[in-house]
Amino acid sequence: MSRVHPTAVVSAEASLAPDVEVGPYAVIGDGVVLGAGCRIGAHAVVEGPAVFGEFNTIFPHAALGFAPQDLKYRQEKTELHVGSRNVFREFLTVHRGTAGGGGATTIGDDNYLMAYIHIAHDCHVGSRTIFANYAALAGHVEIGDDAILEAFCAVQQFSRVGRHAFVGAMTRASQDVLPFVKTVGTDSVKTYGVNTIGLKRKGFSDERVDALQRMYRVLVSPKLNTSQALERIGEEFAGNADADYLREFVRGARRGVHK
């Protein structure tokens, strides 16, 4: 049986797995589904429709699943979908989607989302990401698997952050952020090479990291424009999955990429 503190408020229209814990003064709204092992801290509020997988931990005063901060929103039914084993720290906010943005905000598995971060409507966050304190996503942002966003960084709406990207503290990303690479800056956002230490911590071999470093040098070469650089990467690294992903990512950028 779920362990719900007597001061908590749980809607009759919510669905809680048998071992869910709900702390003092927490509120679980209509249409919320909490999977096995989820823990909701004191004063946290979860609104729906929102579906959570297993073993998610929501810390005190976090607010998830509320309506989007979008002036075009007209109370249409939209959703939040969350995977498993995510950590949502204090005072964090995550909003549902909008009809114009696909109707759902999604978060994958094994993410660690620290205090005071904001994930806006229609964002899609992958798995195994880390968001440091006060990181913020505007609407319609995509975050690739294993990305790291440091404190106080902000990602502009409709931007993408690639897999294994490292976004430094205070960075204001107004274009897409390259995968595998360190990107840092406020008024002038620049890349600072492949995130060698982070990739090796994730189990990348020396050979794989070396190949990524060579791809990066081609991509930022002052002697080549972006199209020429991508063509050369395709020629020199034919059959390399990282090269294929990098080229596809850059080609898919609508406002360019930070280099």
Q: Mind telling me the catalytic residues?
A: 121-122, 139
> Cα dihedral angle (214, 216, 218, 223), rounded to 10 degrees?
-140
- Do 21 and 42 contact (CB within 8 A), yes or no? no
The identity of residue 34, as a single letter, is L
Pairwise CA distance, residues 220 & 139, whole Å: 29
226-236 and 241-251 helices, crossing angle to 10°: 160
DSSP bridge pairs for 124: 106, 142
Pairwise CA distance, residues 230 & 251, whole Å: 9
Helix spans in the chain (H): 196-201, 206-219, 226-236, 241-251
Pairwise CA distance, residues 249 & 118, whole Å: 24
Instruction: Give residues with Cβ within 8 angstroms of 25, minimum separation 6.
Output: 5, 7, 8, 42, 43
Going by their DSSP bridges, the two strands 181-184 and 190-194 should be labelled as: antiparallel
Element (H, E) at 105: strand 104-107
Read off the tokens for 160: 């993408």
